[in-house]
Amino acid sequence: MNGAQSLVHTLVGGGVEVCFANPGTSEMHFVAALDQVQGMRCVLGLFEGVVTGAADGYYRMADKPAATLLHLGPGLANGLANLHNAKKAQSGIVNIVGEHASYHIQYDAPLTTDIEGLARPMSDWVRTCRSSRDVASDGARALEAARTAPGRIATLILPADTAWNEADGPSIARAALPRAAVQEDAVRAAAAALRQPGAALLLGGVGVRSAALEWAGRIAAATGCKLLAEFGCARMERGAGRVTPERVPYSVDAATQFLSGYRNIVLAGSSPPVSFFAYPGKPSLQAPAACAFTQLVGVQEDIAAALQAVADELGASSLSPAQQAQLELPALPTGQVTSQGIAAVLTALLPQDAIVVDESVSTGRAFAATTSRARPHDWLSLMGGAIGFALPAAVGAAVACPQRKVIALEGDGSGMYTPQALWTMAREGLDVTVLVFANRAYNILRGELAGVGAGTPGRRATDMLTIDRPTIDWQSLARSLGVEAGRAATLEELATQLRRGLACEGPYLVEVVL
């Protein structure tokens, strides 16, 4: 058994079932080991940002890590943006990054680089294998790191000679430790804060999953506090019958107005709301200066148990939860495509237990309130702000949950960062319906230009904010990558095309012309 075989055996033995891969020469022994060791599904991505984004989407839905296989430093570098998003989402991933044979590094071949230096900013754990006989144990430690709550990025660098040389055999990864329990004094402090006027409970992490939301709803029923959610949530379980917190808005003006009335905010798996960017004359912290924050539980701790403890402290355990969404399916709208119209179509047609991967950027800011009354579904948000997320994450979600419909909401600008994901959807026959909102611009940046006080854009500035001349033909692009596609220029056409996509068992793309 060589080092690569010992590593694959270790990963499979530790419950890793999927490897999202874009390999090169230095990874060939690992590729061969994937043939020789049973139990690992291999999914090829044509760009490393697809590979890492798919691993993020997979973890969010499977609640366990996948592996990635990346080629040397440049391959890792290509995947870093979606590793940033994954780290912000607290997704567990085991990256296997090939390296030159240890004796070859001294010659500074063209692909030689500081892989550890590249990996550290987007990883929680980094190690380079020193010997083929260490590969299995290093792999086990990487898996243990990735499974550490709430989920971590582990990067294991595998020199080619440690992959092809003789190894002792697989290693066993220790089971993941349970999440830490909340402290009693934190429970009492949170309960006291939530009894006060102007109180809110701000939820994040797994605090926006159904089990935790039920307890949060009971707390709100007992105290009258408002339930809020962070703007970005890795995976929110929402829809009819579920407790539905209000999402803190994206824009600094809307967020500061939204939070202006709160005097006490209790944090459960969340952080104090901060603006995405700095704006001249506007605050970085979005809550009022006089607002007091109380930390109930961190994202790495047992959030559902902490909320249950607060409910018990308040005598709320038997109450019916507040802020439960009711099923409210609107009539299908007609006419011109608008954000509100798109939201209505989605709400009416979203299937039970669908998974929505949201990178709709500016188009989708109006979606939350309406779609919260749709059939029960999961909603995955862009967490780190690095665009090119939705298409790869939809791949990972569909691999994790093949029995569920996946809908990717994608802007045309952000979609062009990782369109290769469409090819992977086609090759794997993944059940993904993609809506591309084609406004032919980085529309969010038009608002940001005004928001930072940079003035009225002239021709050169406008050219930096638009993606026309030539116009991207998403139907042709999708079909060239093996995905059937249609076009919608009205809300009636959108409903027809969305129904068609949802009826397919494989991928389907709808270009929504705005």
pLDDT, one tens digit for every residue, the chain (514 residues): 999 999 999 999 999 999 999 999 999 999 999 999 999 999 999 999 999 999 999 999 999 999 999 999 999 999 999 999 999 999 999 999 999 999 999 999 999 999 999 999 999 999 999 999 999 999 999 999 999 999 999 999 999 999 999 999 999 999 999 999 999 999 999 999 999 999 999 999 999 999 999 999 999 999 999 999 999 999 999 999 999 999 999 999 999 999 999 999 999 999 999 999 999 999 999 999 999 999 999 999 999 999 999 999 999 999 999 999 999 999 999 999 999 999 999 999 999 999 999 999 889 988 999 999 999 999 999 999 999 999 999 999 999 999 999 999 999 999 999 999 999 999 999 999 999 999 988 777 777 877 787 878 888 888 888 888 899 999 999 999 999 999 999 999 999 999 999 999 999 999 999 9
CATH of 339-513, one of 3.40.50.1110, 3.30.70.360, 3.40.50.2300, 3.40.50.970: 3.40.50.970
Cβ neighbours for 237, distance < 8 A, ≥ 6 positions apart = 208, 209, 210, 213, 376, 377, 378
Amino acid at 427: R
Contact 128, 114 (CB under 8 A): no
Boundaries of CATH 3.40.50.970 in the chain? 3-164, 339-513
Q: CA 339: distance to chain centroid? A: 22
Residue closest to 506 by CA, chosen among 434, 431, 453, 438: 431
Q: How far apart are CA 213 and CA 203, in angstroms?
A: 9
| 484-488 sheet: strands from edge to edge | 236-238, 377-381, 354-359, 406-411, 432-438, 508-513, 484-488
Classified by CATH at the fold level, domain 3-164 comes out as Rossmann fold (3.40.50)
CA dist 87 → 179, 257, 267, 384 (Å) = 18, 29, 20, 8
Q: Classify domain 184-313 at the CATH class level.
A: alpha beta
Boundaries of CATH 3.40.50.1220 in the chain? 184-313
